[in-house]
Amino acid sequence: MKIKYFQDTDTLYIEFRETETAETRDLDEDTLLDIDKEGNIRSITVEHARERTNIPQFSFEQIAA
């Protein structure tokens, strides 16, 4: 998984899989969901990310199974 924040455009990009996008769905006017050919979520793009998320407080935690 890759998470990128583009400060110049205030865009948050979260990539779950490095596959080709088969379909892009608009969840709302500022959120895009990319789906691969097998129906899996490939990535999410969030525009106006600072307003819509808590980017400065981002943390990641992986829980062991």
pLDDT, one tens digit per residue, over 5-39 is 898 999 999 999 999 999 999 999 999 999 999 99
**Is the residue at 40 inside a domain?**
yes
Q: b or e along 40-53 (b: 16 or more beta carbons within 10 Å of the residue's beta carbon)?
A: eebbbbbeebeeee
Helix count and strand count (H, E) for the chain: 1, 5
Q: Could you tell me the two tokens for 14?
A: 């979260």
**46: in domain:** yes
- Tell whether the model's pLDDT for residue 52 goes beyond 90: no
Q: Considering its fold, how many domains does the chain have in total?
A: 1
Tell me the whole-structure pTM to 2 decimals: 0.83
Among 8-12, 14-18, 47-51, 54-58, the minimum mean pLDDT is found in: 54-58
Alpha-carbon Rg for the chain in angstroms? 13
Split at pLDDT 50, 70, 90, the class of 62 is confident
Decide if 64 is inside a domain: no
* Residues 45, 8 contacting (CB under 8 angstroms): no
Q: Is residue 62 part of a domain?
A: no
44 in a domain, yes or no?
Answer: yes
Q: Provide the domain limits for residue 20.
A: 2-54
